Amino acid sequence: MAMSVNVSSSSSSGIINSGFSRSGVSSEPKVSRIGSLRLLDRVNVAPVSLNLSGKRSSSVKPLNAEPKAKDSMIPLAATMVAEIAEEVEVVEIEDFEELAKKLENASPLEIMDKALEKYGNDIAIAFSGAEDVALIEYAHLTGRPFRVFSLDTGRLNPETYRFFDAVEKHYGIRIEYMFPDSVEVQGLVRSKGLFSFYEDGHQECCRVRKVRPLRRALKGLKAWITGQRKDQSPGTRSEIPVVQVDPVFEGLDGGVGSLVKWNPVANVEGNDVWNFLRTMDVPVNTLHAAGYTSIGCEPCTKAVLPGQHEREGRWWWEDAKAKECGLHKGNVKENTADANVNGESKTAVADIFKSENLVTLSRQGIENLMKLDNRKEPWIVVLYAPWCPFCQAMEASYDELADKLAGSGIKVAKFRADGDQKDFAKQELQLGSFPTILVFPKNSSRPIKYPSEKRDVDSLTSFLNLVR
């Protein structure tokens, strides 16, 4: 389905029929659509060579020049070829790592302005319906025309759709929506149901509803702009540069390196983004006021509690290191020499939960604990991975719990459930994400899973008192 091109500018004089008028270029409207074929310019346009700065060279003579009546076509063609061979510029590959270093300390407004200046109508802002409305505001402030696209998965919150409408009206733009292939969605739902991602991970659903539509969108561009920040996810986004060659997707020209990815707010903290949004009085998604910090599809997004990391509300049933949908898969820094078969790091990580009152369970130990129908005392066990930031965040409170319950008749234990133990923990111990906390009552054969993400001492103690 052809998407309408959306532009916005502080002045409408540079926009003709949704195309962008540039200096030195014919004023004929340029047809450019995300995810669709581009129409060629008029045949009679004079040929030009393009350098990386985007400037056109007028030194090449037009190939459609009419020969004089007495001239021979063959000598003329030979002359033209010789002139072109002498005058064609050598296009150098731009060093985007070097450009990223130059822009490392630049403001988001400067980075946005550079991106729009460099790519014009061949770049677009990826808008998710969350706080990356800041990107649209920065683009608006540059005074340059810009394009915005979004992925409509068909499973967004009603509040997000209303937010899209508010943003369009506020900026006077049209967002270019990309939709999943209906046949693919139908096949997934018919074979696995509406909520298969709760059972086998979200990657397959995201691939159908988000990644493939995004791939189609980016094939119509040379660059795209995202709202990624380093502080959003320490496990996957901690080393995002402000500009990079996209490591995953292809752009308009096709092939590796054909798409450039701009991240203007990579170095900005979340609080500063929100201060900017409040100062500029722009529309925001009403879900934020309800505790939603990172917003995606309705079944996979929930509000977070005060003090929780913003990404804990996304795919909350999975490991912290899996909290990417595939749109930014290239953020994950992989070293095949340091990875085991489960894709988890083998690099030495200091163990956590070190209280002297904690029992460290082996695989055999926790299997024995599960077999006991009549235990002498109740147990509370955390299933953890030492590299997990959410496990690390609860270390102090869990150690304090162990010290508090010492001598009370309740055993406090830990079981490392990553690596080779992960499949066992998923099948036998209800492991969904790290950390998972289990209580083994005295007179029950099956453990009870702690249902809350509040992992402070008081909350854990209250739960123990209810089930012991």
The residues that are catalytic are: 388, 391
Contact 326, 209 (CB under 8 A): no
Question: Strands 379-384 and 359-360, how do they pair?
Answer: unpaired
Nearest to 294 by CA among 310, 280, 306: 310
CB atoms within 10 A of CB 219: 19
Instruction: For residue 74, give the DSSP letter.
Output: H
Integer Cα distance of 412 and 403 in angstroms: 9
Integer Cα distance of 455 and 5 in angstroms: 48
The 3 state secondary structure assigned to 216-233 is HHHCCCCEEECCCCHHHC
Contact 3, 35 (CB under 8 A): yes
3-state helix, strand, coil in the chain (%, to 5): 35, 10, 50
Tokens 């402000």 belong to 242
Integer Cα distance of 286 and 152 in angstroms: 18
Integer Cα distance of 67 and 252 in angstroms: 36
Structure tokens at 201: 């991970």
Burial of 82 per CB tally in 10 Å (0-12, 13-18, 19+): exposed
Nearest to 47 by CA among 84, 22, 78: 84
Burial of 183 per CB tally in 10 Å (0-12, 13-18, 19+): exposed
448: CB partners within 8 A, 6+ apart? 438, 439, 440, 441, 467
Integer Cα distance of 441 and 460 in angstroms: 14
- Full DSSP string of 314-378: BSTTS-GGG---STTGGGS---GGGB-TTS-B-S--------TTPEEP-HHHHHHHHH-SS-SS-
Contact 312, 216 (CB under 8 A): no
Phi, psi (rounded to 5 degrees) for 350:
-60, 140
Tokens 């917003």 belong to 295
